[in-house]
Structure formats: C-alpha cells, structure tokens
A and B are shown apart, each in its own frame.
Chain A
C-alpha cells in the first residue's frame, strides 16, 4: 500500500493530470503549455502508440531544456508518418537521417553545437526498434562508447511496422510477423534470439539507461526529465504498442502497454553507469495470457489449439524478469 491517509489525491499520479495536485506536481501532458511536438494531422494509424510515446517524450524533453532542443530522427514509421514531403508535424527543430545513422547524425549535431558554443541547446536522437536494435546498432554503440552528449530514445513496437511488419531483433518470441509466420511446430518468432538493448546500453556503462511505456506517462516524463538533466550518452527505451502490427484494437494501445508491464514481460527500470538504481513495481499482477490474448500476432497460441507449452515459456520469461528486476514488492512475492 503506497497511499497514506494524509496525502491521498483520488487518482494520485495514475491519471495524466490531477486537479488536486499542486501545479509543480502535474505532468507536462496535462498542461495547456505542452509543445505538442508532434502535431495533429500526422498520418499514423488510429491509436498509434509510437505517435503517443514520441509526443510524451519530446514534450517532456522540451520542457526540461526550456525549448532548446534539436531532434534527429531515423527512418521508420515515426519519420514516414510525420513528414511526407512537403509537410511536417514536428513543431521543433528536426532533422531526418538514414535508417542506420541517427546516432551518428545526433553526435554530429551535438559536436557542432559544442564548437559553436551553444551549450544550452540539447540533442535527442530517436528511432524505432528496427533502426535502433538492428540497422543503427553500430552507430548507437559508438555513440555510447564515446559518451557523446545525446539522449537516444528508442520507440519499441517490436517489429518493422512501416515496411509491413517484419521481424526485428526486438520482436518477442512466438510473435507472428511477415517474416516469422505462424506455421510449423514452433510457430512465430523463435525463442532464444533477439537483443535486449537496454541491458547492452548498460554494459557500455553510460550515465543513464531507462525503460518506460506509454501506459505510465508520469514515469516516462520523469525519466526524460532526469535524462535531460545529465550529460553524456543516455538511452531510453519506450514500449509503444502498434495496433496494426500487433493485431490489436486501436483503443487498446495504452491497455496493452499496461498489461505488458503488469505481467512482467516488459520490465520498467532505470540504471546509472551500468547499475540498476530503480524499478517500477507491478501494481496488479496479471498472467501473460491476459496480454497475449488481446493480440492477433499471438492468436496461434490459442487457436486451433491452446499452446499451453508456449504460453508457459512466455510466462517463464515474465517470471524471470520479475525476479531479475525485483518487479514485485517483497510482501507480494
């Protein structure tokens, strides 16, 4: 129980805003002054988690830097749906790069700003999971290794959605994609492959690494704000459900992110200089099945026959995360 009798604010910080909290305690997204960095009229699908996550993150970064921010953007959904020539949805200085070199472009922007003495202007690089964990991974590792003064944000929707839902190294096991079809004795993406980039980033011992999701805007904003208060290479990995690629209802985007974190499949934590410093504990634990059932990319686990063996493997992954990151309060274990 984390509530107290003296300070009880009805919805606390679970809702985006809360009129009972003081101004200083309110989220960026609840204010009229938020940048709306990613403006209306973008061409993302209905209920796009990435559009939501990007606005949450960049608006928070804008406030944290007093609007002195430049963003570099990898190729991917985010870039394609926000800037079809000659229109743009971005209300901040924004530069497009190739699929694989966003980290390097951001490093260059940061270097140029340093040379020009504009130290108050900060740099963010952003990309999807494909541009981050696969194609841009070399540039990203280099940026970490050199400890360049860039915050890299990965919007993880667990596949190459822009080009037609192909598997990436962030696609979870058993998920169906265009390149990991639900056929054969072990349908969907294979177990035992893929990368955990937040842990790889931690292995670089950079100043700050964090994970977040669109289900908890307060947590996400806190982490972006904290990252912008630091210098050097920083990495935030945000889970952004994709209604199209996951085969989910557009209105379920936030709920799916919540189920991913509450089941333990997506651990939410933060680390400094390679050591985990905090984690977001599970509030209402759910079995992974609750999360899987709502997505057509896992439909083959339930029809034509119930694959309890595969579900058990995924549950074991979630349970391991819970142990590894301490996602349950001691009393609840």
Chain B
C-alpha cells in the first residue's frame, strides 16, 4: 500500500495501549451496610425500599419493605425509629424521615389494596404461633410466606396483642391494626381468637404441629407496695390501657397520678387527660433526662397539659391525697430519700413501673429455661425445647414493637430451617457505610419535612390520631433525601469522572463495571462516589 510522504506506519487506535498495566491499586464496586439497615431491629432493608420510593415506585418499595416487616402501617406509627438516630444525613443536616415514609407506604398499601404474594408451594408442615402481637404476626407472616401452615392462637377476643392492649388509640388507630393483620390472614394464616393455650405440648400433639413459636407479650403490671387507706384507687397502667379496649372505660377521676417514667406512664397520663382528668401528673423518682420514656413522647405529653413531678416517690395513698417523698440524686445518679414529704391531691394512682410476662403456659414445658422472668433463647430464638421458639417481650431485652417483629422474623427463618432438618445460619453482614465514606457534596440541600401534628385542643379531648401522615409529594421529597449510603444508586458519577473511560455503564438497574484493561487506578471514582459504593484495594499480584 502506498503511504503519504514520510508516513511508514498505519494509523492505530490507542486502544492497543493497555494502560491498566500502570495500576498498583484497583477500584472495586461494593455494597456497604447503611447505618439505618444496621440498626433496624426488624432488619429492614431501608435504603433499598427508599431507593424504589425515590422513583415514585411505591408498590415496589412496599414489597421490599414487607420482605422483612409485614406491619408497615403500624411501624410507621409506633416504631421508635432507631434508624433515624443512626442516619448519616443527620450529620449533614437532619436525618431522613424514614418512619414517616414507612407510614406513607403502609397507608398507601391499604388505600391501593396491595396484598402479599400468594403462597405458591405448600410445605405440608404446620406451625403454631402463640400470641397475635407483633412477634407472633411477624413469625406467622414469614412462616406462611415460606409455605408452612400457620395457626395463631390469641387469648384475647381481638388480634394485635400489646399493639391493641398496650398502645393508645391516639398513637395507633385500631383500623390500622385491623388492616395490617387482615393482610396476613389473607395469605392463608388461621387466627383463633379467644383461645388461651394451657399446655403447649398437648396442643402440638393434638393438632399435629411440627413447631411452635411463642410470642406472649408482657401484660402484667409490676406492683409496688404503697400503704393505702383506700386500695381501690390504686390501679396499674397495663390494666388501664387494656380496659380502654373494653366497653367500660376506666374511671380515674379528676386528679390522676401516674407513677413511673417509661413510655407506658406517658401513655396512661395522656389517656387520663383524654378521659377528662383535669390534672394528670407523672410522679417519677429521678429527673426528666433520666426518664426511660422517649423524649418526643414526653414533649407531646407536656404539650397536652400533662405535668411532671420528678425526684419524688409515693410513700402513702389516702382517700383524697397521696404523700410523696422528695428525692435527690447521689453521685452515681441514683435517687436517695431526703426525708422531706409533701401531700398532693389525687383521685387515683396508676402504677406504671414496668411489666412482666405471664409465663404460666410454660409450666408444663420441660426443658425450658426461665431466668429473671424471661425465657432463655439462643441467637436463633430457639428455646431448650426442640421445635419451640420464642420472641418478643417474653425473651427479654428491649421491649418494643420493632424488636418483637425482628424476633418473629429471625425465629421464622430458624423454624423454616428446623423443619427442613438444617440449622439456620444468618448471612454475614457487609461492612458499615460510615459518614466518612460519603462525598456529601453531591446531595442537594434539603431540610426534613415535618409531619403535621393534630391541633392541641383535639388532642386533649379526643382519641384521634395525634401525628398525621405525609402526602405523596412530601413522602417523595423525604425519600429523595436518602443518601443511599454504601449502595450504588446509579448517579453515573464514576462513569463520568473517569479520565480513561474505564467505567462501563451497563444500563438502568444494572449498575457499572470496571474495564481493568484501561483503569490506571487513579481513584477518582472512589473519591467522587457520593454514596461510598466503591473501594480501592491493592492490586493482586
């Protein structure tokens, strides 16, 4: 071939020059564990469901959410959202309103009539679930979705356990419980109401159950001895909240004293206000900052006119008054009596000093270990009795709805493995997507959207729900505040900033791949990835 003057070689592409050989370090795509997911007691894949919600694909978001937790609408109201406390966005401006979005998705499921996927293959195994509280419902849902036959036994006339009998209506409307429970029943779970189990092993044998999950709530109020002239005026918090669900509402009088500093004390004090009490006073032996109750619930109670009297213990109760002793905190933060007394007018005293689980049904179950009032279980929620698992309040630890749901899920997985004759081993966790892994420059500035709060007058007189939900626009906005920590959200930044075109874009939903033939290992993609989904590591020899 004739070439132009002074040209001896054919034109070639620089693609012949594999610059990847320069590299001493290589970038690798990773999925890191976002802090929200890491702290969720129910093990929800929050980042993933927000990812779908960001696109406005609410049903897809709800389906990802309910893979781990079937009670979205309930969660969106009563979960104490530790996820938001861990949220990396909290270090940038304010944490993402995960709980509010979850509630929106849960309510949207009811509005749109979304159902769980029907069970396609029956395993032929049968599992009994004792208690229809959050732990029992969660276990039943997860077991049923794996194809097992499930029967829930509930002692009360209505389903929900402590959701119904421990949480006031103004926080959790009963219609919400009903619709979330119904969705689980619709999967083919059998619910037997008003059936108290007396002998677990006998029931299992009679009906041919292959395994059992125990999810009994803590329904017995702890008592404290208070010398009382009139014993009728002293009741306990769990009893009051339980009575609220019956036909005869509790009669507490005009001046109500609530003794205790936990969330239940707050619930009762706020309930008393709504029942017409002019004065609803929480007496607590330590200070407000030491109260175990969540601070936003304390604030809501104060807004509604509930009064707090801290550093006080009740020493006696008479017909119209109670006597309290002033306390002071010692150097270790424990309250010590001072010998100073005062009297307060009181029509009734409600004890909210913690709760115990009624473990009577376990008496005839050999092999079960009970320590300090709670059933001992292993990491898989298995008791010492083969095939019997337990979760929720009765196994101790933090007693919240979300923890109970998590127990139910973990136990269901272990039961599923047990029914197949294998031992359940949870999958390993990814490394944590900490704040320093992120490049927050790339996220738009956006403050948190605040949920509408019910007008104060209505809160003091009715049992209407206090906290409202987000509308669609707000929920979308809130979802899009998610930074997708540790998980690629396809922002194309790596694809863009590579000076060597060494990032291959695989198309929507398929993420990216490195072309190591040309990647020089500069690390620009690692430094600029907003969400920390790329790691740089030493080049293998």
Contact = CB atoms under 8 A, between A and B. Distances in A.
Interface string A1-38: 11101101111101111111000000101101000101
Given A20-B55, A29-B496, A254-B524, 7 more contacts: A1-B445, A6-B473, A19-B491, A27-B496, A40-B500, A52-B524, A258-B441
B42 to A, nearest CB: 25
A49 B524 CA distance: 10
Contacts of B446: 3, 8
Nearest to A81: B14
8 contacts: A9-B480, A10-B54, A17-B496, A20-B55, A43-B19, A86-B10, A251-B524, A253-B499
B538 to A, nearest CB: 15
A47 B524 contact: yes
A41 B493 contact: no
B18 to A, nearest CB: 7
B502 interface: yes
Contacts of A87: 11-14, 16-17
Interface in B4-22: 7, 9-19, 22
A51 B498 CA distance: 9
Contacts of A243: 522
Contact of A252 (B19, B445, B493, B527): B527
Given A8-B477, A17-B490, A41 B14 contact: yes
A315 interface: no
A132 to B, nearest CB: 20
A29 B18 CA distance: 23
B441 A14 contact: yes
Nearest to A47: B522
A16 B512 CA distance: 14
Nearest to A46: B522
B19 A8 contact: no
Nearest to A5: B477
A55 B499 contact: yes
A88 interface: yes
A75 interface: no
A99 B113 CA distance: 70
A20 B480 contact: yes
Contacts, number: 167
Contact of A41 (B18, B474, B508): B18
Interface of A: 1-3, 5-6, 8-12, 14-20, 27, 29-30, 32, 36, 38-44, 46-49, 51-52, 55, 82, 85-89, 217, 243, 249-255, 258, 284
A196 to B, nearest CB: 27
Interface in B472-498: 473-474, 476-477, 480-482, 489-493, 495-498
A11 B444 contact: yes
Given A8-B480, A87-B12, A41 B444 contact: no
Contacts of B491: 11, 15-19
A89 B502 CA distance: 14
Given A40-B518, A47-B499, A10 B13 contact: no
Given A30-B495, A39-B13, A40-B14, A250 B441 contact: no
Contact of B444 (A14, A55, A82, A88): A14
A16 B499 contact: no
B341 interface: no
Interface string B497-536: 1111110010110000001011011111011101000000
B443 interface: yes
B442 interface: yes
Contacts of B476: 8
Among A27, A82, A86, find the residue whose CB has the most chain B CB atoms closer than 10 A.
A86
A57 B526 CA distance: 23
A12 B441 CA distance: 11
A241 B445 CA distance: 27
B444 A12 contact: yes
A5 B470 CA distance: 13
Interface majority SS (helix, strand, loop, mixed), chain A: loop
A6 B449 CA distance: 12
Contacts of A41: 13-19, 518
Contacts of A55: 499, 501
Contacts of B497: 16, 52, 254
Given A1-B445, A41-B16, A47 B523 contact: yes
Interface string B82-112: 0000000000000000000000000000000
Return the 5 tightest CB-CB contacts between A and B, nearest first.
Answer: A17-B492, A16-B496, A251-B523, A41-B14, A47-B522
Given A30-B495, A43-B19, A252-B527, A9 B502 contact: no
Nearest to A90: B14
B438 to A, nearest CB: 12
B14 A86 contact: no
A39 B501 CA distance: 7
Interface string B1-41: 00000010111111111110010000000000000000000
A254 B528 contact: yes
A27 B491 CA distance: 11
Contact of B524 (A20, A44, A253, A284): A253
Nearest to A249: B523
Nearest to A40: B518
A27 B495 CA distance: 12
A20 B443 CA distance: 13
B513 to A, nearest CB: 13
Contacts of B10: 86
B441 A284 contact: yes
Contact of B15 (A39, A86, A253): A39
Interface string B442-462: 111110010000000000000
Contacts of A85: 9
A79 to B, nearest CB: 13
Contacts of A5: 449, 473-474, 477
Contacts of B444: 3, 8-12, 14
A42 B490 CA distance: 26
Contacts of B477: 5, 8
Contact of B17 (A12, A18, A30, A43): A43
Nearest to A10: B480
Nearest to B24: A46
Contacts of B522: 46-47, 243, 250-251, 253
A87 B19 CA distance: 14
Contacts of B7: 86
Nearest to A217: B496
B360 to A, nearest CB: 53
A55 B496 CA distance: 10
B28 to A, nearest CB: 15
Contact of A254 (B13, B482, B527): B527
A51 B500 contact: yes
B492 A16 contact: yes
A85 to B, nearest CB: 7
